[in-house]
Amino acid sequence: MKQTFPIIGMHCAGCANNLTKALSKVTGVVSAQVTYATDKATIEYDEGKIDWEEIKKAVASVGNYQIALPKQSHQPSHQKHNDQKHDGPQNKHQGHNAPKHGDHQDHAAALSQQKKSLLKTKTIVSGLLTLILLLGNWLKLFPHEISFIFTSIIMFYAGQEFFINAWAGLKKLTANMDTLIAIGTGTAYLYSTVVTFLPQLLVGPQPVYFETAAAIITLILLGRYLESVAKGRASEAIKKLLNLQAKKAILLKNGQEIEVDISQVKVGDQLLVKPGAKVPVDAIIIKGQSYIDESLVTGESKPVKKSLNDKVIGSTINKQGLLIVKAASVGEDTLLAHIVKLVEEAQSSQAPIQKLADKVSSIFVPSVILIAILAFLVWYFVLGLAFTPALVIAITILIVSCPCALGLATPISIMVGTGRGAEKGILIKNAAKLQIAGQIDAIVFDKTGTLTQGSFAVTDIVPADITPKWQPNEILKLAASLEQGSDHPIAEAVVNKAKSLKIKLASPQNFQNLEGLGVKGQVANHQLLLGTFKLMEQEKVMRCATLDGLVKRLADQAKTIAYLSVDKQTVGAIALEDEPKPIAKAVIDSLKKKDLSVWMITGDNQPTGEAIGKRLGIKNIIANVLPQDKVKQVKKLQQKYPVVAMVGDGVNDAPALAQANVGITMATGTDIAIEAGDITLLQGNLELIDKAITLSQKTMTNIKQNLFWAFGYNALLIPVAAGALTSINITISPIFASAAMAFSSLSVILNALRLKRVKL
Ligand code: ADP
Ligand code: MG
């Protein structure tokens, strides 16, 4: 069981690292990942062993943090089991404590809002006091004792969290950004206190640094406040999706309309959807027709026409007609809930590019403390600087270094990037896939349903003319009778054609579906086969040269051919057309412009494949491939190209999609397993492939910029703070250091926010 929970109170990637470590150690936790950028913990756990109280304790043990658990999870475990027994079948998803996105999410939002306003108050108080201190110090308005009082308020009220977190870290022998600030400001404060009250301990008159400590805390609080505002903007995607959720439904019961809460709707319920209202859950239309605005869920901008038996997606908007629908999936099973879960998991996942930054981050804080101590020792003992300025240098180093920007650089861009994708109907499974999607060398498309519409129409019926008996209608009759057993789109087309000609069908016996080849069975005491050339060969059917000639011409027109054999003799063929999607050519053109090698794979025959390829501008055709052999073909391509993407419908292509470096599935409607692909395109819209690649590339560029600035910032300013440029009179004051530090993580977030506006 894997779930994502909000964490409240983190201010740094270091916090997230420590929380990850603490959570991973709790019994029952298989793996844990806490991400600062999203303020979330993704925990994979063993339902039988997990104790939520332990989880809460672990979170509190590393600092002033809270985890927002769903209500059920607070229950002691014996009660939990009781509940499970009473759960009805439709409640099974709540039985194992699945979070219900309403409550605990709201609770978490309220808590973090509280934290935010407290932070704001503290920043203002600290800011005002600091101003008075700076003025007082400058104009010599009051003695050190007054400065001491003001600064104490700032340190122990406004800045208390730095010390609480540093202390919690110290107890666990870990250090974080708060440790640096606590040591830095604490040193300045203590030193000034000694100067004020016990000057006899020091030699000669010494300056005090109260206003420095105060200003550092103010600036860092200000930075954190701005950061929390900017972060809120970066994480809007999930919030938007959650707000989208329909809240009420109108239940039809015994001819009555009853308004109920969405949580009370059960599968099979009949619901009324008025014009202008939201479709409450994923459902099937049983009466009426309308246009549905799906833009907020799937990104499809045009309203979609829906009528009887069509599927409608929960939380989309009914634009026109009055609809009666039957609930098909509710609660955690709805498309929207799946999307939210997927985006949440993706945002909390780690991209490979983060590894280096993580490595540096993990040793960053101790290294900085070491550098600060060394710098003090060198300046004081070796270079003969006085005690106080040497101390100031050490403090400046502690304050200027910014592990947070390093830790934020990757995840914040991943969060904004995946969120931006979700908005457009591009669902990306995890950060690693987002990273690699921009590096695709070759892309293989499944033909039917991916490049083509996937809906066939019979165009020609060609008799082999061996005996006059086998006329087109007779061929169609046998073929359609047999196809009644299949649900392949070809079968549908053949049956429809027969029905439209009012041909009476017989029911097939011993029916067999031969996947990727065709169908087999008995009709009217004849042994029938309908399908590909390969099938006919396999079954050693007697061929007919004239028919082959006729059929080749049709195949060259991009038509799919289904041969019919009766008692092992070819009697004719049916040609079917499946039009390419109108957008396909343009998409392939733009992929080729991106220097991708484009391939098509199909179970159809070579001439048909090539003819369609020609129309679309695809030269590389792999035809006659059985569904189970598609994996092998992908592997083969992977020997030639480092990164291969496969695009399919996710139904019978699942193994090949999994084999590909990037599996892209086209989802239509709600009947999709969005877990099947690495990238899911929600509207079955090919154009999104190109956009997904662009999004990946832009996100990676953004991450690299962030990493460059974050590394560069520290690499440059830490030496300067240590006094490396004193010889040319460039030094940094502790106050400047805190301003620079606060700005550096803010700038990383602001840069990531630019991704929100990236053109797709
Ligand atoms: P694709 O690989 O293009 O997605 P499939 O694997 O579904 O196509 O099928 C491969 C080929 O097998 C089809 O092009 C068709 O010629 C044949 N075939 C499959 N199922 C049937 C069927 N029910 N009736 C006739 N032909 C079929
Ligand atoms: Mg297919």
pLDDT in tens, 121-158: 999 999 999 999 999 988 888 899 999 999 999 999 99
pLDDT at 29: 94
| Mean pLDDT along residues 44-54 | 91
| Mean pLDDT along residues 84-112 | 53
CB 603 less than 6 A from any atom of ligand 1: yes
Q: d(Cα 666, Cα 465) in Å, to the nearest integer?
A: 42
The bound ligand whose nearest atom lies closest to the alpha carbon of 483 is 1
The three-state secondary structure class of 157 is helix
Q: What does each C-alpha distance from 97 to 29, 46, 302 come to in angstroms?
A: 15, 12, 38
Residue 621 and residue 630 in contact, taking contact as beta carbons nearer than 8 Å: no
Buried b (16+ CB within 10 A) or exposed e, 237-260: bbeebbebbbeebbbbeeeeeeee
Q: At 87, is the pLDDT very low, low, confident or very high (cuts 50, 70, 90)? A: very low
CB 562 less than 6 A from any atom of ligand 1: yes
CB 63 less than 6 A from any atom of ligand 1: no
Q: Of 750, 735, 752, 740, whose CA–CA distance to 714 is shortest?
A: 740
Q: Of 247, 319, 334, 244, whose CA–CA distance to 283 is shortest?
A: 334
Residue 466 and residue 569 in contact, taking contact as beta carbons nearer than 8 Å: yes
Mutate to test the pocket of ligand 1, among 444, 446, 447, 448 (most ligand atoms within 8 A of CB): 448
Q: d(Cα 493, Cα 150) in Å, to the nearest integer?
A: 83
Extended beta strands in 244-341, E state: 248-253, 256-261, 270-273, 282-287, 290-293, 304-306, 311-312, 317-318, 323-329
pLDDT at 105: 67
pLDDT at 90: 40
Residue 87 bears catalytic tag: no
CB 690 less than 6 A from any atom of ligand 1: no
The bound ligand whose nearest atom lies closest to the alpha carbon of 577 is 1
pLDDT at 83: 40
Q: At 404, is the pLDDT very low, low, confident or very high (cuts 50, 70, 90)? A: confident
Mutate to test the pocket of ligand 1, among 488, 523, 652 (most ligand atoms within 8 A of CB): 488
3-state DSSP helix/strand/coil percent for the chain, to nearest 5?
A: 55, 20, 30
* pLDDT above 60 (res 740): yes
Residue having the nearest C-alpha atom to atom 18 of ligand 1: 518
Q: d(Cα 193, Cα 208) in Å, to the nearest integer?
A: 8
Distance 606 CA to ligand 2 centre (A): 15
Residues 6 or more apart from 97 whose CB is under 8 A from it?
1, 3, 47, 70, 72, 73, 80
Residue having the nearest C-alpha atom to atom 5 of ligand 1: 516
| Mean pLDDT along residues 311-323 | 91
Q: Of 535, 548, 542, whose CA–CA distance to 567 is shortest?
A: 542
Q: Which residue has the higher pLDDT, 529 or 240?
A: 529
Q: Which residue has the higher pLDDT, 612 or 239?
A: 612
Ligand 1 atom nearest to CA at 517: 12
Catalytic residue among 178, 446, 653, 678: 446
Q: At 254, is the pLDDT very low, low, confident or very high (cuts 50, 70, 90)? A: confident
* pLDDT above 90 (res 696): yes
Q: pLDDT digit string (tens) for 485-527?
A: 998 899 999 999 999 999 999 999 999 999 889 999 999 899 9
CB 608 less than 6 A from any atom of ligand 1: no
The bound ligand whose nearest atom lies closest to the alpha carbon of 602 is 1
pLDDT at 650: 67
Residue having the nearest C-alpha atom to atom 7 of ligand 1: 516
CB 224 less than 6 A from any atom of ligand 1: no
* pLDDT above 70 (res 670): no
pLDDT mean across residues, the chain = 88
pLDDT at 713: 92
State the DSSP H helix or E strand holding residue 689, giving kind and residue range, or none if neither: helix 687-721
pLDDT at 520: 95
Q: d(Cα 165, Cα 174) in Å, to the nearest integer?
A: 10
pLDDT at 73: 45
Q: pLDDT digit string (tens) for 432-467?
A: 999 999 999 999 999 988 999 888 999 999 998 777
| Mean pLDDT along residues 32-36 | 89
CB 650 less than 6 A from any atom of ligand 1: no
* pLDDT above 60 (res 72): no
